[in-house]
Amino acid sequence: MRRVATELGTGAASLYAHVSNKGELHALMLDRIAADIVVPEPDPTRWAGQTKAIVRSMRDALVARPGIAAVAVAQIPIGAQALRVSDGLIAVLRAGGLSKKVIGFAVDLLPLYATAIAQEVAERKEEHASADDYAAVAQQLGEFFANLPADRFPNIAFLGPALSAGDREERFEFGLDILVAGLAAHRD
Amino acid sequence: MRRVATELGTGAASLYAHVSNKGELHALMLDRIAADIVVPEPDPTRWAGQTKAIVRSMRDALVARPGIAAVAVAQIPIGAQALRVSDGLIAVLRAGGLSKKVIGFAVDLLPLYATAIAQEVAERKEEHASADDYAAVAQQLGEFFANLPADRFPNIAFLGPALSAGDREERFEFGLDILVAGLAAHRD
DNA sequence: ACCTGAACACCGTTCAAGT
DNA sequence: ACCTGAACACCGTTCAAGT
C-alpha cells in the first residue's frame, strides 16, 4: 500500500478512501490483468488446442506481473473480465462435448494450474533473479540428484537425468497435455 | 521469526544462530512435514489408486499446517523426507509402467497440484475462518452466478448450478482423476 | 467526499555487546 | 560458540484533523 501510494504521489492512508483494504485492491488488479487473457471463438474440432491456448494466456498474464499469482490463489475471480474469461473457457469446453459436471470442475482446475505454475515461476525468480543462472541452478540440481546414494533412493537413481529434464516451458506444456488428455478421457 | 522466538522463550535475534534466514527455517519445516506423507509398497495392479493416495497424503500434510503450503510453492524439496516421498512416488509410477520421461514430469506435476489445492484451502480459510459458513459462502456464490445476465454470459448461464457444484473434497478428487487419467493416457 | 500526518502494532534482519 | 537488546528499515491500517 505504501509503495502504491508513493507511485501515485500520496501517502498510504489516502488509498483507503478508494479501497477498503489491500485485498480489495488485489481483486481490482487481478480483474484488470484478466483483460489480457485471450479467449478464442469456439471451434468443436479444435477444443483441446483452444483450451490449452486459454490456459497459456492465463499463465502469461500472471507471469507478466510478478507477485500477482500469489494473490490470485486467494481469490474467486468474479470481476467483469474474469467472468468474460470463464464464459469463454466454458464455451470452448462445451464445443468439446464435455458434460456440464466436468466443465464445472474444469473451470476451476485449469485456472488453478495456470496460477500454480505462474506462482512457481515468480517465486523462484525471486531467489535467483537473473535468468541466465536458471540453467546453472538446474544443472546443479541435476548433479545433486545424480550424486544421491542409489541404495537409499533407488527410484530417483533409476530415473537419472529424466528427473531434471526439460525446461519450464516443456514442463508446463506437459501438465497441459495431461490435463486436457484427462478431460478428454472424462467425456461421456 | 518473532512469533517462533516467543514460542521458544527467546528473542528473534537468537534464531539467527541456528538458521541463516526465514527461508531456511521454512525449508526445514517443510521437510519435517514431509515425514507425515505416506508412501505405499508399489503394486502394479493398483498404481493409479496408489498415486492418488500419495497426492492425498501430500495435501493432508500441508492442509494440517495452515500457511505452510504458500511456503512450499517457493521451494524445490531436497530434504531427506522429501526425497523419500519422491522416491516412493517414482516407484509407484514405475510400477504403473509409465516412461521415464513421463515420470520425470509427473513427479513435479502431482506435488504441484497437492500444493496448489492446499494453498487454496488455507488462503480461503483465512477469509471466512469458521467452517460452518463455508456452505453459506458457497451458496451465496451460487446465487451470484445464477443472477448474472444470461445474454452477456450465456455459457455461465448454461452451466447453471454445475458451476458451483461439489464441495472441496469432490473438486480435489476430480482433479486427481483428471491427472491420473491424463498420465495413463501418456503411457507408451 | 476526499485527503493528510502521525501514530499503532506489527514485520525480518543486523550488529555490537555480552557469556 | 551461542545468546541478547536495541536498532534499522520496513509493513497495513486507523484516526483525528483538515479541505
Residue A123, pLDDT score: 79
The pLDDT tens digits for B121-138 are 887 766 655 556 677 888
Query: Which nucleotide is at minimal CA–C1' distance from B11?
Result: D4
What CA–CA distance (Å, rounded) separates A175 from B45?
24
Residue A124, pLDDT score: 77
What CA–CA distance (Å, rounded) separates B157 from B139?
16
Per the CB < 8 Å rule, is B107 touching A179? Answer: no
Q: Å from A11 to nearest chain B CA?
A: 27
What CA–CA distance (Å, rounded) separates A1 from A12?
6
Residue with nearest Cα to nucleotide C6 C1': A13
User: Does the pTM exceed 0.85?
Assistant: yes
CA→C1' distance for B29 and C12 (Å)? 18
Band of pLDDT at residue A17, cut at 50, 70 and 90:
very high
Band of pLDDT at residue A166, cut at 50, 70 and 90:
confident
DSSP state of B153: S
Give helix then strand counts, H and E, for chain B.
10, 0
Per the CB < 8 Å rule, is A175 touching B105? Answer: yes
C-alpha cell at A47: 477444443
Is the predicted pLDDT of residue B4 greater than 80, yes or no?
yes
Per the CB < 8 Å rule, is A178 touching B179? Answer: yes
Cβ of residue A109 closer than 8 Å to a chain B Cβ: yes
Give me the residue label for grid cell 507425515.
B36
Question: Which among B104, B144, B174 has the least Cβ separation from residue A78?
Answer: B144
What CA–CA distance (Å, rounded) separates A160 from B94?
13
DSSP state of B166: S
Average pLDDT over residues A48-69: 96
Average pLDDT over residues B13-36: 95
B153 touches strand C (CB under 7 A): no
Per the CB < 8 Å rule, is B183 touching A178? Answer: yes
Whether the Cβ atoms of residue B56 and residue B77 lie closer than 8 Å to each other: no
C-alpha cell at B45: 495392479
Residue B96, pLDDT score: 96
Per the CB < 8 Å rule, is A123 touching B73? Answer: yes
Whether the Cβ atoms of residue A125 and residue A72 lie closer than 8 Å to each other: no
B 43-102 residues inside an 8 A Cβ radius of A:
70, 73-74, 76, 78, 83-84, 86-88, 90-91, 94, 100-101
What CA–CA distance (Å, rounded) separates B106 from A178?
9
Q: SS3 string of chain A?
A: CHHHHHHHCCCHHHHHHCCCCHHHHHHHHHHHHHCCCCCCCCCHHHHHHHHHHHHHHHHHHHHCCCCHHHHHCCCCCCCHHHHHHHHHHHHHHHHCCCCHHHHHHHHHHHHHHHHHHHHHHHHHHHHCCCCHHHHHHHHHHHHHHHCCCCCCCHHHHHHHHHHHCCCHHHHHHHHHHHHHHHHHHCCC
Cβ of residue B133 closer than 8 Å to a chain A Cβ: no
Within 8 A by CB and 6+ apart from B149, the residues are: none
Per the CB < 8 Å rule, is B120 touching A163? Answer: no
The pLDDT tens digits for B86-99 are 999 999 999 999 99
What CA–CA distance (Å, rounded) separates A10 from B19?
38
Q: Å from B61 to nearest chain A CA?
A: 18
Residue with nearest Cα to nucleotide D12 C1': A1
A:36-75 Cβ neighbours of strand C under 7 Å: none
Is the predicted pLDDT of residue A126 greater than 80, yes or no?
no
> Which residues in chain B are contacts of A177 at CB distance < 8 A?
182, 186
Residue B131, pLDDT score: 57
Q: Give the rounded percent of residues in chain B with a pLDDT score beyond 70.
A: 95
